[in-house]
Chains A and B, each alone.
Chain A
Amino acid sequence: MSAAAAQDTHIVAATAPLIEARNVTRILPGVVPTTLVHNIDLVIRENEFVGITGPSGSGKSSLLYLLGLLDLPTSGEVLVRGQETTNMAEEDRAHARLTMLGFVFQFHFLLPEFTVLENVMLPMRALGQLSASAMRTRGGDLLGSLGLGDHMNKRPDQLSGGQRQRVAVARALANEPPVILADEPTGSLDSKSSEQVFEVLRDLVHRHGKTVVAVTHDLGMAARMDRQIELIDGAIVADKAVLVERI
């Protein structure tokens, strides 16, 4: 294969839409219905590093849950790799989450009774495609690459906040999903740990070809991402790609 051809395929792959929101609105029913987000049109492409910013209560988390198939839109549709997901069976949506989407929440959300390695292996075991030893090796490699090689057999409560958050990243990567969705992954961390976690996420995009969508309050951090989306009152008010601007 020629270098030019390889370049071409890279460009095609880089521009393929991964997650697409089409006129998505989510209203929480109730005595006074709450609009979480409305009329969202958004395309997340391969190998993008996207930051979502906005004031508290503007619907950042809600949007992330919708893009990650954790929540269903009241109207509109969400497509993953071109496939419509809102009418999917719950089981198929779960499978899409298991294989295509990795979640990292503000609080680490690890299972407390299991070791770090077992937590990372959980999605692999749920998918059940690898042998036990292969899962172990892959889990160990992931943790090692995130600087947690020495902590594999500890319980989550024996780790620092930053370490836990990196374990959560390792777990999100377990089944090699193309997309990582992170909701304020550094929100509960000090600046040093925040920087570590940020670098991990950036490396995923720049070195490993993943797509990362991260909600953040930290405008400085958002500025270092490749694309920034700003939400106010449940609507997108700005969507700018840093690279384009720089050119």
Chain B
Amino acid sequence: MNLILDIAWTHVRARVRQTGFAVAGVATGVGFSIMMASLMQGSQDDFTNRLVNTLPNVTVSDERRSPPPQPAATLYAAAEIHGLTPEARRRGIKNPLATMAALEAWLPGAVGPSVKVQAIIRYANHDIATNIIGIDPRRESMISDLPKQMRGATLNALFRATNAIVIGDRLSDKIGARIGANITLQTSEGARLNAQVVGFFHTGVRQLDESTAYVLTKTGQILSKQTGLINELRVRLREPMTSREIATRIENDTGYKSVSWQEANEDLISTFIIRNLIMYTVVGAILLVASFGTYNIISTITHEKARDIAIMKSLGLSEYTVRSIFVIEAMIIGVAGALAGFLLGYLLCLALGSIEIKNPFLDSDRLPLAYTYTHYLLAGAVALVSSVAAGYQPARKAARMHPVEIIRGAT
């Protein structure tokens, strides 16, 4: 075996208990870091998946980012005209079928036409503002997970009654509507419609479950008082993470405002960033504290082994060699701690994953955990680097020690 490794290993082996504590410190740091990262990542992934699967990845609406200018303003560019309202355009996406076909020609995914109307649901003394979305149930499985999220009936139930409606389960709880209930929909334009509840859905995204309802496209068009209206194209992509880029391209191609799910949930995503920042700070602090143990043990060994260091230096071992011995010892502690930490982290995740909790915000009664090897690599790498960094200073000091001073002191 290599001389440096041999001596380092001998020192470590002769102090199983002391080095054991240092290793345990690193292992605890690594283990809890992995657990925390797994929990954070797990809940984030869980939420993201829910958003991605429930909401369209990109929503193309008939709005524009900036209101269209008044013809007067364009014609008389030199003149300042005040008090003009923006030009009112006919609502809806022009030539929706052609637009869809054009998008589907290049989009890696599927596009579905829909009508979105704001309406107030009236039922048993409740007035609740709701987004009513007119969809084609046969296409819906290509665009969202709504068919899978139905409770009590399939989405095809929409065909079963005239003006059938499916509403979110939280909404139904709020107004107390059961299947078969007749509710009234009223829009600000004055349209009024009686609809029959034929089913519920549960997406797990509160905002949707509380204030969204689905009807057939035709029903939606009646509510909006405009036959043939399509004012929203809902897009699902094979790679949801590319939604931002695709949305930008759609907007450039069509001129219609296209919002990716990331943009629609920007505040949520920035919350995740802050959460991750907090997590990395805490994890970093844990690992830093763990490295104090390594520093401690390496300093102790260099003090206990001062005489041996003097011998080695007087024999002609270089400063570099002596320093390497103690850096390697720190590395041994780091590696052992990381490996033990991997095991601990995995076991902690298993333990956490087996706990049942009733969480009003989660569907499952288990904590969502992400088992990602990158967490292990990252925690291991940080543990190793901080151990070596912690061992370096005492190792350097030991290597610079003057052998004569120690030999004089010993004789």
Contact = CB atoms under 8 A, between A and B. Distances in A.
B104 interface: no
A65 B404 contact: yes
A96 interface: yes
Q: How large is the interface on B (under 10, 10 to 19, 20 to 34, 35 or more residues)?
A: 20 to 34
B411 A126 contact: no
A126 B319 contact: no
B320 A91 contact: yes
Interface stretch (A100-108, A203-211, A232-240): A100-108
Contact of A97 (B315, B321, B402, B411): B315
A109 B307 contact: yes
Contact of A95 (B14, B307, B316, B407): B316
Interface string A119-140: 0001101101000000000000
Contacts of A91: 318-320
Interface residues of A, number: 31
A98 B319 contact: no
Interface in A180-218: 183
Nearest to B13: A113
Contact of B318 (A94, A113, A123): A94
Interface centre among A91, A94, A95 (most CB of B within 10 A): A94
Contacts of B90: none
Given A70-B403, A91-B319, A122-B3, A97 B408 contact: no
A8 interface: no
Nearest to A168: B311
A171 interface: yes
Interface in B310-327: 310-321
A103 B315 contact: yes
B314 A126 contact: no
A90 interface: yes
A171 B315 contact: yes
Interface of B: 3, 7, 10-11, 14, 307-308, 310-321, 402-404, 407-408, 410-411
Given A109-B307, A111-B311, A111-B312, 14 more contacts: A70-B407, A90-B319, A94-B316, A94-B319, A95-B316, A103-B314, A105-B411, A109-B310, A109-B314, A111-B308, A122-B3, A126-B315, A126-B316, A171-B315
